[in-house]
Amino acid sequence: MSESKGSLLAKSVQKHAGRAKEKILQNLGKVDRTADDIFDEHLQNFTRQQNAANKLQKEFSNYIRCVRAIQTASKSLLESIGEIYESQWSGHDLLFMHTQSVDMLWQDFNHKLADQVLIPLNTYQGQFSEMRKKIDKRGRKLVDYDSQRHNFQALQLGMTKKRDDVKLNKGREQLEEAKRTYDMLNSELHDELPALYDSRILFLVTNLQSLFSAEQVFHSENSKVFAELEAIVDKLATESQRGSYSIKKSNGSTLTRTPNNSAPVINNVSPPSPITSSPVTPAEDIATATTKISNDNDQSISSWSQDSDAVPLKNISHSNSPTKVTPEPPINSEPISKPESNTLDGCNNPIIISKSSDVKTHVDNQTVTNKNVVETTPKQTEELYDIPVGATTENLPPGVLYRVKATYKYNREDSDELSFDVDEIIHVIEYDDPEEQEEGWLMGVKETSGEKGMFPANFTKPL
């Protein structure tokens, strides 16, 4: 057994040595080599096809890895969105269901890419390694054939003086065996290489159709799911704008609308309750209170003496409809200019006194009743709701009644209101619809930006 292995090894070494010698002689031009131009052309096409397949397989494998990474990232993102999307919000259950659908679409897409694209591509690319082995073997057999051919030629030349038929017959047999082996491999490759090269078109068509079809289905279904998700978020935005999820604060500095769409009121300055027709007992620490009722056309409350703890009267009204409350400027801000009419509260803030047919006030458990106590005259109405005293009406743009200057900063709470900073100039104009006019509110246009909207009158002073 050892001798058999030794003989095989010696034979293999002899073959390699003979091939190396033949190649050196061919490269030096000492001996000729068998040429096959048709096979060389097939070999060039094969090499080009193999390089393209290797590149395609490499890039697609990288694409598969990226798709799987995106699937993981998408799943993590949608899970995070599901966690922060609160359960009481609109479409919570639908959002969870659609996020699960997205993950399933990713999984199906990955399976299609692996089964219908990557596996066939690997099979196609695997043909080249087997074919390359055949080509290399054919090259070795070609060298063996050339070597035997050269040996036989040398043997024939060496027997010019003395002929040795035994050696000639042996050399001829070796040459014929080498030629037969080479011809068999060469004939197979002449058939297989063109067939393999032509198969590239059918493979690309099938493989790319599977790829593009999987992409189209995935993105089409995915877009439908994300359209549903977008609709859920749009609905949440609409409901949020309507205030469906707003937290109602008892103490704050924002302005809110009352249910009857009356003017805003500052939350951190709670307005005192309007005096009604039911008996009201003043605070015990009120030392003195003097009520002077004039019976002329003004019939207004002219004065009320009280100490520092007395509660000022605001928005006196006896009508059955809810009273619209004018917002008051912040307490710590600068006081606004004092209006001409007697409509100031204890903090020197403007008060609009509603028209009433019957007002009852109670001081020290004594009731004073008077009909039409606060009925305003046409002159007072003009001062309060039209053009105040001291406002300049000359040299103004068309449609502008007068101008005012902001004495306090105001941030709007509704889309029909106007925000402004201190010292901004506003042009007061008439309401488009007089029925929309609200007591204590004006319609104006900012001089700088041209924005239009309602604003509280007592946050400004006339110019």
Query: What confidence tens digit (pLDDT) does each residue in 97-134 have?
Result: 999 999 999 999 999 999 999 999 999 999 999 999 99
% of the chain beyond a pLDDT of 90: 43
Residue 38: pLDDT over 50: yes
Predicted confidence band of residue 331 (pLDDT cuts 50, 70, 90): low
Comparing 119-128, 140-149, 178-187, 291-300, which segment has the lowest mean pLDDT?
291-300
Which amino acid is residue 451, in one-letter code?
A: E
Residue-level pLDDT at 24: 83
Residue-level pLDDT at 261: 40
Highest-pLDDT range among 129-133, 317-321, 358-362: 129-133
What the block records as the tokens of 298 is 């003004």
Residue 66, in any domain of the structure: yes
Residue 166, in any domain of the structure: yes
CATH number at residue 96: 1.20.1270.60
Residue 254, in any domain of the structure: no
Residue-level pLDDT at 166: 83
Q: List the domain range (segments joined by +) for residue 194.
A: 25-241
Residue 107, in any domain of the structure: yes
What's the CA gap between 218 and 311, in Å, rounded? 71
Nearest to 324 by CA among 405, 419, 436: 436
- Give 433-458 as a DSSP string: SGGG--TTEEEEEETTT--EEEEEGG
Q: How many domains does the chain have?
A: 1
Predicted confidence band of residue 35 (pLDDT cuts 50, 70, 90): confident
Residue-level pLDDT at 329: 67
Residue-level pLDDT at 8: 65
Residue 286: pLDDT over 80: no
Residue 337, in any domain of the structure: no
% of the chain beyond a pLDDT of 70: 67
Residue 363, in any domain of the structure: no
Residue 425, in any domain of the structure: no
Residue 56, in any domain of the structure: yes
Residue 447: pLDDT over 50: yes
Bridge-based pairing state of the strands 400-406 and 460-462: antiparallel
The Cβ of residue 376 has, within 10 Å, a number of other Cβ atoms equal to 21
